[in-house]
Amino acid sequence: MTMVLASTAFDVSSQSNFVAYWGQSSAGSQKSLGEYCGDSSIDVIVMAFLYQFPNTKLDLSANCRSTFPGSELLHCPDVAADIKKCQSQGKAVILSMGGAAGAYGFSSDDDGRKYADTVWDMFLGGSGSQRPFDDAVLDGVDLDIEGGSTAGYAAYVAQLRSHFEASSDKKYYITGAPQCPFPDAMLGSTLNSAWFDMVFVQFYNNFCGLDAYPQGFNFGQWDTWAKSQSANKNVKLYIGAPGSQSAAGRGYVDASTINSIASDIRSKYTSFGGVMTWDASQAFDASSWGQSVSSALKSGGSKKRALEPLQGRFISTRSANVTAGAMQVKLELVEGSDVYISDTENTFGFHVRIQSADQPIRQGWELHIPLPVGVSVAQASAQAHNIRVHDNTLVVVDGSSINENMAFAFRVAGQHIGNEFGLPDPAKIMLYTTA
C-alpha cells in the first residue's frame, strides 16, 4: 500500500483557526466528512472517537459501519477518501482518542509507548497491515481523556514524537482537550511533561465556562500554564465552545457573545489560537453559528483601535481633563462624599465621568484603568457595566455609545485598599473604541 502524505496549508501559529469535532452526530444526524471540509470556515477537523484502546475500537456513528473480515476494527474507505479531500483543501484532520464514554487507558509507560507504535502504523505514517483509513495519513492525534487511569500518556506522546521526528514527509500534531478547571484531573500531569501543539480547553459543562465570563472564565490561568509550565511555550490555546444549546449541559453562548469574548481574549493573550467547537453537526446547522464564529476570527474579530494615551493632569479636586486622539473627551475621576470608602472592609469607591465634546464614541468601547502599585484588587463592580480586573487593571467594556455625558461608579475590594488606595492616575488610562 502506498501512503498518501497530503501536505496541508494549516497554520498552527495562527490566532484565527476554527476547529470542529466530527463523527458522533450529536445533533442526531450529520453530513459526511467531505461535505464539512467543503466549508471554508473549518481549519481543523477532529475525528471522534478512537474510544477503546489499547484494544483498538473506533466509533464514527453512521459514517462507517464496515469492518475488516473477521475483526471488529472499522474499515472506512469512504472516510479515507474524504480525509484526502480535506487535506487537499488545506485542512488538518486529527483523530481523537478517548471521549466521555469508552473503555480506554494504559497501565504503564511501556503500554503507552507500545500503543504509540500501533497508532503510528494504523493511522499515521507507519505501515500497518490493517489501516482503517487505508492509505490516508492523518495529521495527528488528539487526547480527550475523561476517564480511566492517568498513567502512560506522557510516554505515549513522547514515543509518537520520536516517530514524527524520524519522518520528514509531513508535519504532525499532538493536541489535547482538557476540561477548563485547572489543572485538568485526567490530563494535568501529561500536559506539563509532554509536548502539545494545541490545547482545546473545554469551556463548558463547568463553573469556569463561557457562561461564567468574565469573572469566572479562567482562560488567563491556562495562559499562565502555557507560558510557564507547558513543555511547548508556544502552545496554542483554544476556546472550546458548544455549537448549540443542545450540545452541552451548560456553557453555550450565541455567536455574537463568543465573538466578543474571543476578540477580548485574543487582544490579551498571545497563546490564543482560535475556537474549537463540539461539534460540527451542531455548529453548522441552520443557525450558521460555526460560520459566524469562524468569519469573526478570520476578520480579526472586533478589532480594537487604540487611541493615543490620555494626557491629563491632576487638579485639586482629583479630577482630570483629557484628550483621546482626535476626539475631545473629558474624563474625570472623582472621589466624593457619596462614594463609599472603608478602612475596615478594605474597599474604596470612585466615580468616572466621560464626556465626548465633539462626537459620540459609537458602537462599543473599553476603558482600561491601571490601579496603583501595591494594591491587590479581588473584586470590582460598576453598576450596569461589564467590568473585570486583569493584570491589576480595571477593564470596563460597553457596547453602547458615549454621548454627551456618561458617569459610573466603581467599588473595588481587596488587600491594602481602604484610604491608602487613592485615585488611579488618569494620565495612564487608555480608552479604546471598536472599529
- Calculate the dihedral angle through the C-alpha atoms of 380, 384, 386, 390, rounding to the nearest 10 degrees: -20
Which residues does 240 contact at the CB level (< 8 Å), separation at least 6?
A: 177, 180, 200, 201, 202, 203, 204, 275, 276, 277, 278
Helix, strand, coil percentages, rounded to 5, for the chain = 25, 30, 45
For the chain, what's the residue count?
435
Q: Give burial (CB, 10 Å; 0-12/13-18/19+) of 325.
A: middle
Active site residue 420: no
- List C-alpha distances in Å: 304 to 148, 204, 223, 291: 44, 27, 21, 22
Q: What is the rounded distance in angstroms from the CA atom of residue 237 to the CA atom of residue 273?
A: 5
Cα separation of 24 and 27, whole Å? Answer: 9
For residues 148 and 156, the answer to whether their CB atoms sit within 8 Å is no
Smallest CA-to-CA distance from 104 within 147, 43, 138, 68 is with 147
Which residue's entry shows cell 510557564?
Answer: 228
In the chain, the amino acid numbered 120 is W
Amino acid at 140: G
Q: Which residue, chain included where needed, has cell 480586573? A: 389
Place of cell 488538518: 92
What span, in angstroms and rounded, lies between the C-alpha atoms of 103 and 365?
Answer: 49
Question: Catalytic residue among 72, 146, 404, 420, which?
Answer: 146
For residue 178, say if its preceding peptide bond is cis, omega within 30 degrees of 0: no
Going by C-alpha positions, the residue among 274, 133, 84 that lies closest to residue 198 is: 274
Closest to 40 (Cα-Cα) out of 105, 89, 93, 99: 89
**115, 106 in Cβ contact below 8 A?**
yes
Give the residue numbers marked as catalytic: 146
